[in-house]
């Protein structure tokens, strides 16, 4: 798989740092306006609670106004997020508080959480690794899964979070109906997604184009069913949770259909959950803000519990 230059390896000029701070001011104003206009907003666009809508509008403005490097400048890096979580949250959940970072040979990092002697493991690969770091939501959501396993079966689970620079997007063309229909409803809009797609294309080009051998890794929705042959050697159970209001909803559905066609003859089971009023990375975003899990996330936790207890 192609490994692109990390956005974090590039330098942000002083002028663009000032620009990022000015954009942050606009984000704050957006939050104030979102609070004042929430009762008037259409229910087909706004989230079902004021706080959830406030988070959606603020992040949407931040990602829409700032480029990836500026967004990274305005938030802590993955290593700092991990150390902070261990210092502030681990003890609350009866977990060891000493950070343990494993350096990998390809430049990646593995952040460990939990007791070393735990026999079960949740390994988390977060999305957007080329440009954006881990955030508290990744740790909170997976810890919720861990605690559900512990609550139901008294089985201890440790967690590992990968910080990496490889990436892909379900489809880089972004030409589906949901791409247009949900641009005002999602936490990211069409323009932001186009920018991310261009970032991925530029980062994976060799001699002016992305090699054909890399295309299916980068655009899973375009991979033909036969490409997924052999998946059962890795796992026979998969789950996909996506949001009803995602700009990438149609691309995700296309991926699911082609994936299922390719793997079902091998006995692979596929479960698909559409989250009502759901947005891009909604479960992670809401977990990061301490919101209680929605029903679809509870179902996801149940699936994780079942899989862990199988091995």
pLDDT per position as a tens digit, 143-183? 999 999 999 999 999 999 998 866 766 766 667 899 889 99
Contact 283, 277 (CB under 8 A): no
**264 has a pLDDT exceeding 80:** yes
Contact 238, 268 (CB under 8 A): yes
Distance CA 252, CA 250 (A): 5
Residue 127 binned pLDDT confidence (cut-offs 50, 70, 90): confident
Residue 8 binned pLDDT confidence (cut-offs 50, 70, 90): very low
Residue 4 binned pLDDT confidence (cut-offs 50, 70, 90): very low
pLDDT digits (tens, 9 = 90+) for 29-83: 999 999 999 999 999 999 999 999 999 999 999 989 988 888 889 989 999 999 9
Average pLDDT estimate for 199-206: 64
Ordered by where they begin, the domains of the chain are 1-75 (no CATH), 78-163 (no CATH), 169-280 (3.40.50.1820)
Contact 211, 2 (CB under 8 A): yes
DSSP the chain: ---PPPGGGSPPPHHHHHHHHHHHHHHHHHHHHHHHHGGGS-TTTS-SSHHHHHHHHHHHHHHHHS-HHHHHHTS--HHHHHHHHHHHTTGGGT---S-EEEE-TTS-EEEEES-TT-SEEEEEE-S-TTT----HHHHHHHHHHHHHHHHHH---EEEEEEE-S----S-SS--SHHHHHTTTTSSS-HHHHHHHHHHHHHHH-BTTB--HHHHHHH-GGGS-GGGGTTGGGT-SEEEEEEETT-TTHHHHHHHHHHHHHHHGGGT-EEEEEEETT--TTHHHHHHHTTPPPPHHHHHHHHHHHHHHHH-
pLDDT for 232: 96
């Amino acid at each position: 798989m192609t490994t692109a230059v990390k956005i974090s390896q590039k330098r942000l000029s002083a002028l663009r740092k000032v620009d990022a701070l000015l954009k942050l001011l606009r984000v704050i104003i957006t939050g104030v306006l979102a609070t004042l206009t929430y009762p008037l907003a259409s229910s087909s666009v706004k989230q079902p609670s004021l706080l959830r809508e406030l988070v959606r509008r603020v992040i949407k403005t931040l990602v829409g106004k700032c480029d990836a490097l500026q967004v990274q400048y305005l938030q802590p890096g993955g290593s700092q997020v991990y150390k902070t979580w261990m210092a502030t949250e681990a003890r609350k959940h009866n977990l060891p508080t000493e950070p343990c970072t494993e350096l990998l040979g390809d430049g990646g990092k593995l952040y460990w959480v939990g007791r070393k002697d735990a026999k079960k493991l949740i390994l988390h690969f977060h999305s957007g690794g080329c440009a954006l770091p881990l955030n508290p939501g990744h740790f909170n959501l997976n810890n919720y899964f861990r605690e559900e396993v512990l609550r139901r079966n008294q089985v201890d689970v440790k967690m590992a979070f990968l910080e990496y620079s490889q990436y892909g997007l379900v489809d880089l063309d972004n030409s589906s109906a949901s791409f247009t229909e949900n641009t005002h409803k999602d936490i990211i809009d069409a323009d932001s997604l186009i920018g991310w797609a261009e970032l991925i294309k530029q980062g994976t080009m060799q001699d002016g184009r992305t090699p054909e051998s890399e295309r299916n890794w980068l655009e899973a929705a375009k991979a033909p069913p036969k490409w997924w042959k052999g998946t059962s050697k890795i796992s026979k159970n998969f789950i996909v949770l996506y949001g009803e209001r995602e700009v990438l909803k149609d691309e995700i559905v296309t991926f699911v259909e082609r994936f299922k066609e390719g793997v079902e003859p091998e006995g692979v089971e596929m479960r698909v959950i559409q989250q009502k009023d759901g947005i891009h990375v909604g479960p992670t975003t809401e977990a990061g803000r301490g919101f209680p899990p929605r029903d679809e996330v509870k179902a996801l936790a149940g699936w994780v519990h079942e899989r862990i207890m199988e091995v």
